[in-house]
Amino acid sequence: MSPYQETGTRTPPAATRTARTVAGRLLDRTFGTPTERPRWDVDGAGPVGIDAGDEHAVQAACGVMHVHGRATGAPAPLAADYVSTVTGVLAAQGATAALLARRRGRPPLRTRTSLAQGALLALTQYLAAATADDGTGARATDDGTGLATLTTADAVRVEIETLDPEAWAGFWHRLGVPPRTAGRGWQPFQARFGTAVCPLPPELRAAVRAHPLEAVRRAGAEHGVSVAAIGEATTAPPGLDPWTLAPAPPAGPPPPLPAVTGADALPLAGLRVVESARRVQGPVAGHVLRLLGAEVVRVEPPGGDPMRGLPPVAGGCSVRFSALNHGKAVTEADLTTRPGREAVRELVSRADVFLHNWAPGKAGTLRLDADALHAVNPRLVYASASGFGTALGPLPPIGTDYLAQVHGGLAAALRPAGEPPAPSLMTVTDVLGGLVLAQAVLAGLLTRQETGRGCRVASSLLSAAALVPRPPRRVALSAPDRPLPTADGLLYPGAEARALPRELARTVGATGTATVGERLRTRTTDAWLAELRAAGLPSVAVRTDLADLAADPAFARAVLPPDNRLPYARPAAPWEFTEETR
């Protein structure tokens, strides 16, 4: 048991234990053997009032099953403890931020989060898209289904990746696909990061089925498209640390950090973060640090980040982009020019943190690597995020979410036995990678506070994926482990009901001629939930429309509804900080 864990009088549910274990591991790495330990906990119900000690129940109730299942046509559970892992990282962030605030003069703080808050944070961009009003009164939808996973002529399932439309066109031309047909696949392929679906033209799937794996790999190598074969292995590469931390050269006596004043001040108030990041991983890290109170300044190219135009658009900006970047200041700079790089150095000279998720080698090419920026600001926490770090050698694949799932074992671990392994199109490692990067930054700030020296921290999607606990073999799910249809929706049995299938069958009146599934279809979800609760088998309704979260009274404290400033719903900050009373 971690020395940082808060324990109650009864054994917590399995998912809560997993979250606490993940948090304890990260706090051990962050603090070592501290003289002062923050008090923290992962709450059972959290602000939404559901039993959040059950990984799959919270996936069902908060909409994770819905988003993960879009590509296959129906809500489906992530077979590994993903939400528990996200929540464990959030708990570690809250505890670390609380201790940092204490070192800056704030009274001792206690922090708390829950699995439900972890699930909602993971769904941030999807919740925004589901609740945005485009100005016509219509909400955006993600129509169409399909995975991006392809199968070769020798029956190997593969995932491909490129961010370059010319590389995409060349790859498919090499496989005999006409340019117009290949072009029809580009938009859904790129949009899958935000929609969690990938309805590729059937001609593309047929073209891959006509070629063996080696021919597909050759086509990819010729045009800069990464091709990864998906195996059954659930394990991550061994020896991966969540992040690395290396101190900067000594720079004289440390200046004091600005004090945190005021009972309502957030733990990182007064600190400045400069962020140069694209897509999800880096912006999530900046988003979390902003929620903890830091001022975040985004560096974007002239004309703004191209992701600002990603549909759906409301209020003149992509809501998926805004969901992770609202509240950040923005400065535009062309980093390919000397004035643009000097603008970044000027920002960094007055900052506490610089973070990026640039492609490998880009920081050195721009002369904005850790050595260069520590020469400008010796006490800077320089944070870099990548897809694979150094784990896959000097020429790693393109560092995106879905390839990280393949190489990190999650493509198999997140799908139950009996289903072909394939990455979830929900951006699971992008979000988790951003959260781990934010925790690395907090560890760096704490180290700087204690030593007066800046440092370099680095993490990757692959190292974040390795945090997700998974068994050595894929998990088999029985019928009660999946959403079950009722007369008006879907129901997910709670942990007790899944553990006692005979009791579940007796409660719903199943007999030798009427199965549990048949009986559940005879009544509404609410009617069955009441009956099961009365029988001591509490269960949850499966969320099939994220827009309902903003209107659900149970989520009033956890989800902020659309307003005049931000025309979409978003999760509230996932931590609760309270002053200690000893």
Active-site positions? 430
**Mutual orientation of helices 115-122 and 14-31 as an angle, nearest 10°?**
80
Nearest 5°: the CA angle 392, 398, 402 is 95
Q: What is the Cα–Cα distance from 573 to 357, expressed in whole angstroms?
A: 23
Q: What is the Cα–Cα distance from 293 to 267, expressed in whole angstroms?
A: 6
- CA torsion 221→226→227→228, rounded to 10°? 140
Q: What is the Cα–Cα distance from 151 to 136, expressed in whole angstroms?
A: 41
Give the residues across from 331 on adjacent strands.
Answer: 299
Q: What is the Cα–Cα distance from 60 to 76, expressed in whole angstroms?
A: 8
Helix (H) or strand (E) holding 126: helix 124-131
Greatest CA separation for the chain: 80
Cα-based distances in Å from 46 to 113, 127, 210, 245, 562: 7, 19, 51, 33, 22
Phi then psi for residue 531, to 5 deg, are -65, -45
Q: Which amino acid is at 104?
A: R
- Asked if 58 and 119 touch (Cβ cutoff 8 Å), the reply is yes
Give the residues across from 330 on adjacent strands.
Answer: 298
Q: What is the Cα–Cα distance from 510 to 15, expressed in whole angstroms?
A: 29
Helix count and strand count (H, E) for the chain: 24, 20
Q: Which two tokens mark 338?
A: 């000397």
Q: What is the Cα–Cα distance from 167 to 343, expressed in whole angstroms?
A: 32
Strands 109-114 and 39-43: parallel
H-type alpha helices, 254-333: 281-291, 319-325
Q: What is the Cα–Cα distance from 284 to 432, expressed in whole angstroms?
A: 9
Nearest 5°: the CA angle 40, 540, 474 is 75
- Asked if 203 and 177 touch (Cβ cutoff 8 Å), the reply is yes
Give residue 219's Cα distance to chain centre.
31
Q: Which amino acid is at 488?
A: D
